[in-house]
Amino acid sequence: MSTTPPPQAPAAEAHPPAAGHAAGDGALGWLRALGPRGRRAFAGAFGGYALDSYDYFTLPLSMVALSAYFGLNSGQTGLFTTVTLVASAVGGALAGVLADRIGRVKALLVTVITYAVFTVACGFAPDYETLLVFRALQGLGFGGEWAVGAILVAEYASAKHRGRTLGAIQSSWAVGWGLAVLVYTLVFSVADDDLAWRIMFWTGALPALLVVWVRRSVHDAPKAVAALEQGAGKGSFTAVFRPGLLRTTVFAMLLSTGVQGGYYTLATWVPTYLKTERDLSVVGTGGYLAFLISGAFTGYLTGGYLTDRLGRRRNIWLFALLSAICILAYAGIPSGANTLILVLGFPLGFCMSAIFSGFGSYLSELYPTAVRGTGQGFTYNTGRAVGAVFPTTVGFLADSWGVGGALVFGAIGYGLAALALLGLPETRGKELA
């Protein structure tokens, strides 16, 4: 079935209602304001990003078992994350161009299928080198899903509610992360580690169910369809470096690099830190991560609200500062104070996630419709690739500093993000064109 909406679609379906009293007020006013088609797009993007998160976290949660199985050092395990994130930069940039050329929904399907297939393939890897290749290929799909899904929903959302709407999409990352931790706790409790890590990757086939529904039910927003029909969908990398967009692209890349460098440092190494330096069991690690993930989910939703209230730049500045402070506090907790780690997990997860809530709306508002996919996909994922240096650096530093000491390196990323905002405009309330 075609993913292009039928030309005779009723106006109420094709265009989300205005953000007035009936559709835009109340706690869920942002959701009502999307309209029926927009809500289906929201569900597709939410599910895709949750499963994207699930597939990503199969690796960090299995890292200790993988290290023992293949006899890896900290630098080699850190390389898994770097390869994933560098490949995701390529995949995300290509998916952005694809979204401008063939449409948002079709590009979304391509990314979901890619990350699902190669996550499952990781479970069959016979050696370290093969697993590294499969993980890189998984990164191609992983990188593209968020950018494409965020644009799909942003083009349905009203300017009044775009921050909250995209913040809710971001919260699905915590949902997928939480699901991965639950499955990890179950699988590693009942299976030997040498088999358990493979089972974790095999469960990455779950997104196949989402693909069937998205293909049948989700359509691009009218303005994106119109751009394709008028021949405006000619996304290319050179387009985002033309004089009018060059400054935006450069500073958006720096912003993305800083935020993701800090985030992936924590996402990659906290599970290992809890098991190796805090001596927590599988169940204990899952319990501690539950506090971190609960904070993350709350942070995504709160950050989405604040990005509409405070503005895009102020929201990012606020949580860049708080995230850096939380990293330093978390890594500096003395030995034996595991209860304090449990308590600090919530604010750490809250701050490092709230900063992401404005990204979907902010990057969408920085680029016009014809190159929105290319601009958002390229800047977000180039930042992800450069930010991938952070987890690897932590891996190599961990041998001499310990994982806890090396985690403070992530605070540097948040400082870079704050500086990058000096070169970007405020876009709160901007209508997409």
- The answer for residues whose C-beta is within 8 angstroms of residue 383's C-beta and 6 or more apart is 252, 253, 254, 255, 256, 257, 258, 259, 260
Is 325 within 8 Å of 355 (Cβ atoms)? Answer: no
Residue whose C-alpha is closest to residue 135's, from 70, 190, 183, 185: 70
Return the amino acid letter for 405: G
User: What tens digit of pLDDT does each residue of 1-45 get?
Assistant: 344 444 444 443 444 444 334 445 667 788 898 999 999 999 999
Instruction: Please give the pLDDT value at position 405.
Output: 64
Name the pLDDT band for 122 (thresholds 50, 70, 90): very high
User: What tens digit of pLDDT does each residue of 330-349 get?
Assistant: 777 777 666 777 777 788 88
Is 54 within 8 Å of 201 (Cβ atoms)? Answer: no
Instruction: Please give the pLDDT value at position 231.
Output: 63
Please provide the DSSP assignment of 299-345 as one string.
HHHHHHHHHHHT-HHHHHHHHHHHHHHHHHHHHTPPTT-HHHHHHHH
User: What tens digit of pLDDT does each residue of 138-169 get?
Assistant: 988 888 888 898 889 989 998 888 989 998 99
Instruction: Please give the pLDDT value at position 406.
Output: 66
Least confident window among 40-54, 62-76, 79-93, 390-404: 390-404
Q: Greater confidence, 370 or 169? A: 169
Name the residue with tokens 């405020």.
Answer: 426
Name the residue with tokens 């809500």.
Answer: 39
Q: What are phi and psi of 107, to 5 degrees?
A: -65, -35
Q: CA-CA distance, 22 to 30, in Å (whole number)?
A: 11
Q: Greater confidence, 279 or 227? A: 227
Q: Greater confidence, 175 or 75? A: 175
Name the residue with tokens 């850096």.
Answer: 324
Instruction: Please give the pLDDT value at position 174.
Output: 86
Asked if the model's pLDDT at residue 326 lies above 90, the reply is no
User: What tens digit of pLDDT does each residue of 233-287 get?
Assistant: 566 778 888 888 999 999 999 999 999 888 877 777 776 666 666 666 655 666 6
Q: CA-CA distance, 161 to 304, in Å (whole number)?
A: 9
Rounded to the nearest integer, the mean pLDDT of the chain is: 83
Average pLDDT of the residues in 298-306: 92
Asked if the model's pLDDT at residue 90 lies above 80, the reply is yes
- Both tokens of 27, joined, read 């706690």
Name the pLDDT band for 322 (thresholds 50, 70, 90): very high
Max Cα–Cα distance, the chain, nearest Å: 66
Please provide the DSSP assignment of 209-247 as one string.
HHHHHHHHH----HHHHHHHHTT-----GGGGGSHHHHH
Return the amino acid letter for 123: G
Rg (alpha carbons) of the chain, rounded to whole number: 20
Least confident window among 226-230, 249-253, 255-259, 300-304: 226-230
Q: CA-CA distance, 202 to 57, in Å (whole number)?
A: 13
Query: Of the ranges 25-34, 166-175, 396-405, which is most confident?
Result: 166-175
SS percent in the chain: helix, strand, coil, step 5: 80, 0, 20
Question: Considering Cα of 369, then 373, then 379, then 383, what sign does the dihedral take?
Answer: positive
CA distance to 35, 94, 113, 252, 420, per residue, from 320 (Å): 34, 28, 33, 15, 11
Q: CA-CA distance, 175 to 170, in Å (whole number)?
A: 9
**% of the chain surpassing 90 pLDDT:** 33
Cβ-based neighbour number of residue 226 at 10 Å = 13
Instruction: Please give the pLDDT value at position 279.
Output: 64
